[in-house]
Amino acid sequence: MASFDRASPALKEILLRIYSAEKPIEVDHHLYEFGSVEYHIKSSASDPQLTYLSISTPLLTQGVLLSYGLSPYTIQMVREISSDVLEIVEPAKEGYQLTLRLDFSKIPRGKDSLKVVTEVSSIQAVILSSQLKEMLQNVNSWDTSQGMYKPIKLVYHPREPFYVIRQPKKIVAVFPMRFKEYSDVIIATSFFQELMEVGSSEKWAKAPPCSWSPIPPPELRGEPFEDLSTNGGFVSFDISSRHVEGKRLDKTVWSLLNFYAYVKHHVKCTRGFIQRRMRRRLESLVEVLS
């Protein structure tokens, strides 16, 4: 299941080990995550203050915005992670999209050091989330000449694609839902229906409206059959300009990117709760019969 953490735990551990080492250490390490994300971390004992971090990651979309690689907006978001500590190396190491030079001498001592290393370790999340941010920030600027209603396929984690569809004054995010176990389908379907009911209440009027359907929405007609073949239906959220204003933009983007992970977490917890209840009732019945 996808993690809710922005930072890569493994990358964070390696960077902290380099930063906290009492003596300079040599590091030349390749790290792989999710089967398609690769990091290369290189640190030399002869120059212990500098560490080079390269990353290769599938782009969120191969659409128009990113046909030439990382956009200027994404590059700027990377620079803002910790401008004092990291510097973008051009050109990037061969085989990677981005290489960073990390100056550990610029990291403040104390509790702030952990915060800085954690932020640097979130580099992949920054790259991918910035692409969706760029789309959502333009929620009111697209017109028919820019391909309105044409779905854009996004892939945050392998085998879990979702779509964003431009419409007048809003963007619709559509999630095809798949589950391995039939019991998970039942739990998830109930959850989606409750999500629609709660979302339509006055208390949550400011949240993006949610809808669920067992069949694909009309806007996805023509998309690959394998992407539309589901057993859990399709969950849609309507994103308007008020959902991407100020600090809401980051929250909205992260919620969309981790929607699959949240649903799987909910299903897993619910299944565990049901199993514990059934076990306790079975034990109570055994006590009565014994």
Q: Read off φ and ψ for residue 107, nearest 5 degrees.
A: -80, 125
SS3 call for 159? coil
Average pLDDT over residues 108-118: 88
Q: Give 154's contacts (C-beta < 8 A, 6+ positions apart).
A: 60, 61, 131, 132, 161, 162, 163, 164
Residue 67 vs residue 114, higher pLDDT: 114
Q: Tell me how far CA of residue 234 lies from CA of 159, 166, 263, 289, in angstroms.
A: 15, 17, 13, 46
pLDDT at 290: 63
| 96-100, 134-138, 219-223, 264-268: least confidently modelled range | 134-138
Q: Give 139's contacts (C-beta < 8 A, 6+ positions apart).
A: 169, 170, 171, 239, 240, 241, 244
Closest CA relative to residue 26, chosen from 10, 12, 8, 47: 47
Average pLDDT, the chain: 86
Average pLDDT over residues 190-204: 86
| 20-24, 147-151, 281-285: least confidently modelled range | 147-151
Contact present, 100 and 87 (Cβ < 8 Å): yes
**pLDDT at residue 67 above 50?**
no
Closest CA relative to residue 176, chosen from 216, 139, 140, 209: 216
Average pLDDT over residues 197-218: 87
pLDDT band at 66, cuts 50/70/90? very low
